[in-house]
Amino acid sequence: MKNSKTIALIIAVVLVLFAVLIKTDVITVPNSDKLTDDSSKYTYDYPEDFGSEYVSAVDWPPTLDIANGPVNCVETSGSADMGRITRKNINNELVCLVVVQEGAAGSEYNRYFYAVEREKFVFVYGFTTQEVRCESYSDEQAQECAEVQSTFKPDDIAERMITTTKLNGKVVN
Per residue in 136-173, pLDDT (tens digit) is 899 999 999 999 999 999 999 999 999 998 887 777 77
Cα angle vertex 141, ends 57, 1, to 5°?
35
Q: Cα–Cα distance between 65 and 23 in angstroms, integer?
A: 13
Whether the upstream peptide bond of residue 70 has omega within 30° of 0, thus cis, is yes
pTM above 0.85, yes or no: no
